[in-house]
């Protein structure tokens, strides 16, 4: 069964799909991955750079499909010359050492191409340049590398295989089933074990989970469903960090895979940005039915585009038309934001923090005012409408938004949201931080009618798990009279003691994590992120 999955993986025709699993295979063979890119703007003739176990730099160029002689002459041949003869310009590579060069394809190399490669290698040898040599890795070798690793690469439990195949057979056009993917990670990472695994076992687990993630979401990758890819790799990073926290792993154990997945997230955000930029309309499917979910999609897009814009600022990317597009897109589409549930609040916050970078007026702060007012109105005691807590995904809530026109009506939700909110306390603190004293005074009576709620995991490992039973719910009722200076003191506290140290090093990843895990949102995290966002330079 697994051999069939590997075959299907190799049948996929997109380089951007099979590059990441190949990185995990290299990692499991002892290579240190120091560079991996799928982003067209970063194409330098080298897709992957590794340091082999014998400390020799290795450069890989990946292509897809069968390599015919015409394809070799018109496209590939000159690129492989650059691969072999060019110097690897990377700070982690010792430029005094010659590197090995590999041409990789998930197809086959035709006989004429093999002869051309052999002739070129002989020519370099005759020119007293034997260190210049192009080696090849083709479909059969990739298959054997994956199969040879056996249980070091693949989990053996039947439930893992079943979940993997179920996800693999998804059509790839809809919303990522995060519960299903997280169950695959739960059985793979085995965070409930009581006996500590060795560092090498953890490395194999991390590499295995990365490859399984790439295969599980392959249908989404094939359909260029960038949002699903972003959610999937965010989940993967979360579980890698959960394993690191569980067993107090040295950073070097998970550093390679973490950096590959993080770069993949950044690149996929760039791909999503390019797609949005090139599309005239953002409607999906039938325009008549899509109108019901259009604003929900736009809210997610605005959140992701804001994260990408902030991330570009953090990386100090050279200013270009992408930054202009992101600025204009967020300004023009802000009226499309929709508060469909509290799970949308992190998306609003991502937009808010970017919006404040590009708009010096009071309008960004007005957005927070409107959010506070709407939550207080919808979830006030006695109201027959509601804003669902962040544990509810959009697909669960959409039927209830359109209940009046559905026959039969949707089954009522099992939870009551009356008089409570997970997001309200953090939003209040953000607004107080902007010193809107009089406006806050007018909102306060409505705020005091609701109870602040949050779930706090008992440890940092549980923080990263999709669902956790190990923790406690906090309930706090705001007082009817509140001293302004005291409220400011609370609002400006930003130690973030509930945030794992592994995440504090990457604030933008924590913001993306909250968009995927909105149920981990609380006032302390929001305050800490707000402090971090102030240090990001303006675009």
Residue, of 131 and 455, whose pLDDT is higher: 455
**Residues 479-493: what's their mean pLDDT?**
95
Under 8 Å between Cβ of 298 and 282: yes
What span, in angstroms and rounded, lies between the C-alpha atoms of 389 and 421? 7
Residue, of 280 and 378, whose pLDDT is higher: 378
Q: Check pLDDT > 90 for residue 412.
A: no
Q: Which of 427, 405, 387 is nearest to 527 (CA)?
A: 427
Q: How far is CA 507 from CA 347, 356, 420, 458, 511, in A?
A: 15, 17, 28, 21, 6
pLDDT of residue 218: 84
Q: Which of 533, 525, 522, 526 is nearest to 355 (CA)?
A: 533
Q: How buried is residue 105: exposed, middle or buried, by Cβ count under 10 Å (0-12/13-18/19+)?
A: buried
Q: Check pLDDT > 70 for residue 356.
A: yes
What span, in angstroms and rounded, lies between the C-alpha atoms of 232 and 226? 10
pLDDT of residue 158: 42
pLDDT in tens, 201-235: 898 788 778 878 888 888 898 889 999 999 999 99
What span, in angstroms and rounded, lies between the C-alpha atoms of 194 and 200? 17
Peptide bond preceding 408 in cis form (omega within 30 of 0): yes
pLDDT of residue 157: 42
What span, in angstroms and rounded, lies between the C-alpha atoms of 214 and 232? 9
Helices within 317-459 (DSSP H only): 321-333, 345-358, 363-378, 394-401, 424-433, 437-447
pLDDT in tens, 268-310: 999 999 999 988 777 676 666 666 788 999 999 999 999 999 9
The H or E element spanning position 62 is: strand 57-63
Q: How many alpha carbons lie under 13 Å from residue 334 in its C-beta half-sphere?
A: 22
pLDDT in tens, 455-474: 999 999 999 999 998 999 99
Contacts 24+ apart (CB under 8 A), 500-503: 500/241, 500/245, 500/460, 500/463, 500/464, 501/460, 502/241, 502/244, 502/245, 502/460, 503/241
pLDDT of residue 206: 87
Q: Which of 65-69, 255-259, 352-356, 396-400 has the highest mean pLDDT?
A: 352-356
pLDDT of residue 138: 93
């Amino acid at each position: 069964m697994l051999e069939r999955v590997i075959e299907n993986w190799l049948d996929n025709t997109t380089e951007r799909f099979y590059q990441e699993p190949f990185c995990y295979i290299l990692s499991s063979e002892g290579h240190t991955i120091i560079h991996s890119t799928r982003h067209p703007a970063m194409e330098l003739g080298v897709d992957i750079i590794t340091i082999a176990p014998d400390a020799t730099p290795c450069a890989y160029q990946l292509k897809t499909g069968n390599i015919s002689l015409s394809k070799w002459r018109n496209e590939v041949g000159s690129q492989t010359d650059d691969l072999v003869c060019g110097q690897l310009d990377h700070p982690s590579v010792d430029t005094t050492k010659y590197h090995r060069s590999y041409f990789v394809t998930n197809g086959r190399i035709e006989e004429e191409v093999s002869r051309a490669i052999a002739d070129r290698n002989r020519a370099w040898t005759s020119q007293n340049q034997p260190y210049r040599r192009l080696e090849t890795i083709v479909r059969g070798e990739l298959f054997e590398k994956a199969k040879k690793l056996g249980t070091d690469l693949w989990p053996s439990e039947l439930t893992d295989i079943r979940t993997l195949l179920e996800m693999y057979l998804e059509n790839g056009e809809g919303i990522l089933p995060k519960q299903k993917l997280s169950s695959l990670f739960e059985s793979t990472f085995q965070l409930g074990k009581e006996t500590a695994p060795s560092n090498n076992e953890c490395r194999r687990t991390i590499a295995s989970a990365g490859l399984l993630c790439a295969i599980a979401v392959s249908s989404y990758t094939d359909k260029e469903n960038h949002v699903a890819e972003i959610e999937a790799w965010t989940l993967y990073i979360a579980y890698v960090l959960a394993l690191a926290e569980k067993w107090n792993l040295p950073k070097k154990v998970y550093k390679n895979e973490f950096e590959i997945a993080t770069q993949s997230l950044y690149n996929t955000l760039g791909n999503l940005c390019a797609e949005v930029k090139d599309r005239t309309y953002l409607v999906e499917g039938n325009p008549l039915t899509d109108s019901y979910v259009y604003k929900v999609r736009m809210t997610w897009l605005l959140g992701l585009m804001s994260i990408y814009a902030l991330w570009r600022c953090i990386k100090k990317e050279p200013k270009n038309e992408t930054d202009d597009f992101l600025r204009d897109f967020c300004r023009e589409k802000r009226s499309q934001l929709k508060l469909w549930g509290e799970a949308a609040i992190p998306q609003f916050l991502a937009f808010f923090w970017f919006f404040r970078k590009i708009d010096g007026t009071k309008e960004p702060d007005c957005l927070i005012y409107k959010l506070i007012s709407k939550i207080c109105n919808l979830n006030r005691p006695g109201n027959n409408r509601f804003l669902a807590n962040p544990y509810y995904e959009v697909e669960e809530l959409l039927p209830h938004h359109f209940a009046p026109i559905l026959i039969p009506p949707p089954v009522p939700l099992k939870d009551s949201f009356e008089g409570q909110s997970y997001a309200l306390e953090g939003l209040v603190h953000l607004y107080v931080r902007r010193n809107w004293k009089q406006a806050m005074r007018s909102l306060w009576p409505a705020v005091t009618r609701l109870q602040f709620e949050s779930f706090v995991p008992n440890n940092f490992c549980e923080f990263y798990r999709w669902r956790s039973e190990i923790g406690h719910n906090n309930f706090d009722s705001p007082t009817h009279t509140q001293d302004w200076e005291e409220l400011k003191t609370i609002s400006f506290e930003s130690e973030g003691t509930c945030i794992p140290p592994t995440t504090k090093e990457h604030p933008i990843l924590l913001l993306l994590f909250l968009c995927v895990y909105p149920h981990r949102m609380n006032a302390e995290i929001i305050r800490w992120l707000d402090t971090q966002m102030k240090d990001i330079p303006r675009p």
